[in-house]
Amino acid sequence: MPDERSTTPDLRTDRPTPARMYDYYLGGKDNFAVDRDAAEQVLSAAPEVRILARENRAFLGRAVRYLAAEAGIRQFIDIGTGLPTQGNVHEVAQAVDPSTRVVYVDNDPIVRAHAHALLPADGTTAVIEADMRDPGPILDHPDLHRLIDFDEPVAVLFMSVLHFIADEEDPYGLVAAFRDRSVPGSHLALSHITSPEQNTDGATAAADVYKARATSPAVLRTPKEIGSLFDGYELVDPGLVFLPQWRPDTPAAAANADSVWMLCAVGRR
Ligand SMILES: C[S@@+](CC[C@H](N)C(=O)[O-])C[C@H]1O[C@@H](n2cnc3c(N)ncnc32)[C@H](O)[C@@H]1O
């Protein structure tokens, strides 16, 4: 008889994971007591983290809609996908063109398990369980090659994920690995936590909870460091801004933007 334990993913219920804590901030149900406890510790140090999470999802939606509807992108690689929620990348992009292909990549096994249940069966999407700190196996993965043609423009998304990569793990190098495979007309879109001018204590305390408890630490980076992730890309308007300021649906939606200490941008190669 096969040993069931060897095929059951290790969900690491003993330690909080970024994917499940983020699910909790967004009001999702795919999290465990250990995640809720750490997330509550983050929220008591920085209650605005719930708003950051919602604003991040809103930016993701606006950026994907821009890439599909205005930049004409028909293939997306979404690195650090997170648990399925409202407005997933394939839903936003396929509302523009149903033939758009999307490859999701995440290293948390719970993401793959849930994404499989949600993905359309029409062969336009795939989910790869992999660690982005090693981009080679992702770029060579057969599911990626089935859906992504690197001779055509591609959008690579790193939404709220590169702050889980320490400097010594070379976040710049791993973004460049995807850039170097993509043709002109390709895009990079990302969001990243930054040190706020006010409320530095809350942001630092929130990052400290990840460092002490979660499966990945969280690294606050300066605007200059985040801008450097776009080396080889030209930023589209409005450049590198706080989440609510990136092409808001209404001018009022961008009010008090700098209290949301996460920066974002979209770049074109
Ligand atoms: C805060 S969530 C962001 C989810 C989604 N991109 C969004 O913006 O709504 C971060 C995600 O990155 C994933 N992640 C963290 N480190 C990773 C790594 N080294 N490789 C792949 N995925 C990673 C986590 O599992 C989690 O699902």
Q: What is the 3-state secondary structure (H, E, C) of 66-82?
A: HHHHHCCCCEEEEECCC
Quote the CA–CA distance of 59 and 49 in Å, as a whole number: 15
State in Å: Cα 190 to ligand 1 middle: 12
Is the pLDDT confidence value at 3 over 50? no
Dig out the tokens for 107 from the structure: 């290293």
Pocket lining: 16 vs ligand 1, CB cutoff 6 Å:
no
- Binning pLDDT at 50, 70 and 90, where does residue 257 land? confident
Mutate to test the pocket of ligand 1, among 52, 79, 81 (most ligand atoms within 8 A of CB): 81
CATH assignment of 4-268, given 3.40.50.2000, 3.40.640.10, 3.40.50.150, 3.20.20.70?
3.40.50.150
Residue 1 confidence (pLDDT): 31
Take atom 23 of ligand 1 and give the residue whose Cα is closest. 80
Per-residue pLDDT tens digits for 218-249: 999 999 999 999 999 999 999 999 999 999 99
| Residue 164: closest CA among 106, 205, 89 | 106
Q: For the chain, what are the domain ranges?
A: 4-268
Point out the ligand 1 atom lying closest to the alpha carbon of residue 53: 9
Average pLDDT over residues 175-193: 98
Residue 256 confidence (pLDDT): 73
Whether residue 115 contacts residue 126, with contact meaning beta carbons closer than 8 Å, is answered with no
Is the pLDDT confidence value at 156 over 70? yes
Per-residue pLDDT tens digits for 60-84: 999 999 999 999 999 999 999 999 8
Q: % helix / strand / coil in the chain, to the nearest 5?
A: 45, 15, 40
